[in-house]
């Protein structure tokens, strides 16, 4: 999405959980957009770091039109009682506290500048469906939907909007790790080949919808229920390969 926004002429501030990952993304995008892309690493679990990121963005761009909370981590697919305390805490800290911190930082800015749009990224579990072995991750995403809808209600009659995006299954590093960690990688990959999409297909679509949306409380979803049904019904004669592009 950052690439799409830059291609459309917008300024973008990138943030990752480490200096290494953030700088890598910055260098990849700055080759063609040297004067419109900025970056700053941030641990979303700490509000002071998120607030520092927001201040940095304002210092470079003067205002923030769109803020997207996309930080999220998963855990190995296994029964909940086997998930370590450290792993459970880390997933909740990033996926729950990270969303709270990012949303708070963004809304504080929107209230001061009198405009803005906040988007929180949904994931597996947001709609209440339960996937075996992903109790903590799915629960954190279920929280995200409730929390974002509550923020949307608070934003009613305000000068900013709050909405949700749902990319479905995208072949990012996170998804590939889920395949590797699954009990049956080949079976999992076969299912993902039906449902997953390449990031270069999903990201521009989401970006375009975000840029044109003016409504509070909406859900911008790529992988809808009708699309899922059609893909399974046609999977025997339409072969998809979302893992290469």
Q: Active-site residues: which are they?
A: 137
Strand, helix or coil for residue 108: helix
Q: How far is it, in rounded angstroms, from Cα 17 to Cα 73?
A: 11
Dihedrals phi, psi of 213, to nearest 5 degrees: -75, 135
Dihedrals phi, psi of 223, to nearest 5 degrees: -95, 90
Q: Cα(first)–Cα(last) distance of the chain, in Å?
A: 17
**Residue 119: closest CA among 154, 73, 152, 168:** 152
Neighbour-count burial of 149, counting CB atoms closer than 10 A to its CB (0-12 exposed, 13-18 middle, 19+ buried): middle
**Residue 67: closest CA among 192, 131, 163:** 163
Residues with Cβ within 8 Å of residue 173, at least 6 apart in sequence: none
Strand, helix or coil for residue 245: coil
* DSSP state at residue 109: H
Decide: 149 and 219 in contact? Cβ < 8 Å.
no
Handedness of CA 99, 100, 106, 110 (dihedral sign): positive
């Amino acid at each position: 999405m950052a690439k799409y926004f830059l291609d459309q002429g917008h300024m973008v501030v990138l943030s990752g959980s480490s200096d290494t990952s953030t700088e890598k993304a910055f260098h990849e995008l700055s080759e063609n957009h040297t004067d419109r892309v900025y970056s700053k690493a941030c641990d979303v679990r700490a509000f002071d770091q998120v607030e520092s990121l927001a201040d940095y963005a304002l210092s470079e761009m003067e205002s923030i039109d769109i803020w997207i909370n996309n930080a999220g981590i998963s855990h190995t697919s296994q029964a909940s009682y086997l998930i370590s305390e450290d792993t459970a805490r880390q997933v909740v800290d990033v996926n729950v506290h990270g969303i709270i911190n990012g949303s708070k930082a963004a809304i504080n800015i929107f209230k001061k500048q009198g405009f803005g749009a906040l988007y929180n990224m949904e994931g597996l579990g947001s709609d209440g469906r339960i996937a075996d072995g992903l109790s903590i991750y799915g629960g954190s995403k279920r929280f995200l939907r409730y929390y974002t809808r509550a923020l949307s209600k608070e934003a009613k009659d305000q000068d900013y909007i709050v909405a949700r995006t749902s990319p479905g299954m995208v072949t990012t590093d996170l998804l590939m790790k889920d395949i590797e960690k699954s009990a049956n990688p080949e079976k999992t990959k076969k299912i993902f080949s039906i449902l997953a999409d390449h990031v270069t297909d999903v990201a521009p679509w989401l970006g375009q919808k975000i840029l044109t949306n003016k409504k509070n409380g909406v859900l911008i979803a790529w992988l809808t229920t009708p699309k899922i049904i059609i893909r399974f019904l046609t999977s025997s004669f339409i072969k998809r390969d979302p893992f290469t592009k």
